[in-house]
């Protein structure tokens, strides 16, 4: 299963919580350059467009949060019952 397909299958009822939790992981890093600049720009753009809960927004947040803290990301996905998403992320 591709990441695009896996993200598209995330229930709408979980997207708000998932987006908020992933943003917390990303913003919680003490490493200033943890997220590549282009990825950070994409997150800011999607936030400004109120699209963090869209497929593109969730996918972008997942990509960034795995870079910042893969274990915390896996924990959030497990907690929300979305562990198959993490399996897809890991390849």
Distances 88 to 1, 28, 38, 85 between C-alpha atoms, Å? 7, 24, 22, 5
41-72 per-residue burial string, b: 16 or more CB within 10 A, e: under 16:
ebbeebeeeeebbebbbbbbbbbbbbbbbeeb
pLDDT at residue 8 in the model: 94
pLDDT at 10 over 90: yes
Distances 73 to 18, 49, 54, 68, 87 between C-alpha atoms, Å? 10, 24, 18, 9, 11
Average pLDDT over residues 15-37: 93
Residues 37-75: tens digit of each pLDDT: 999 999 999 999 999 999 999 999 999 999 999 999 999
∠ CA 77-69-41, rounded to 5°: 95
């Amino acid at each position: 299963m591709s990441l695009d397909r896996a993200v598209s299958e995330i229930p709408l009822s979980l997207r708000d919580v998932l987006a908020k939790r992933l943003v917390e992981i990303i913003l919680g890093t003490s490493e200033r350059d943890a997220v590549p600049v282009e990825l950070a720009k994409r997150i800011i753009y999607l936030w400004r467009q109120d699209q963090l809960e869209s497929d593109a927004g969730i996918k972008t947040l997942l990509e960034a949060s795995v870079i910042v803290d893969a274990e915390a990301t896996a924990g959030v996905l497990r907690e929300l019952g979305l562990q198959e998403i993490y399996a897809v992320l890991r390849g």
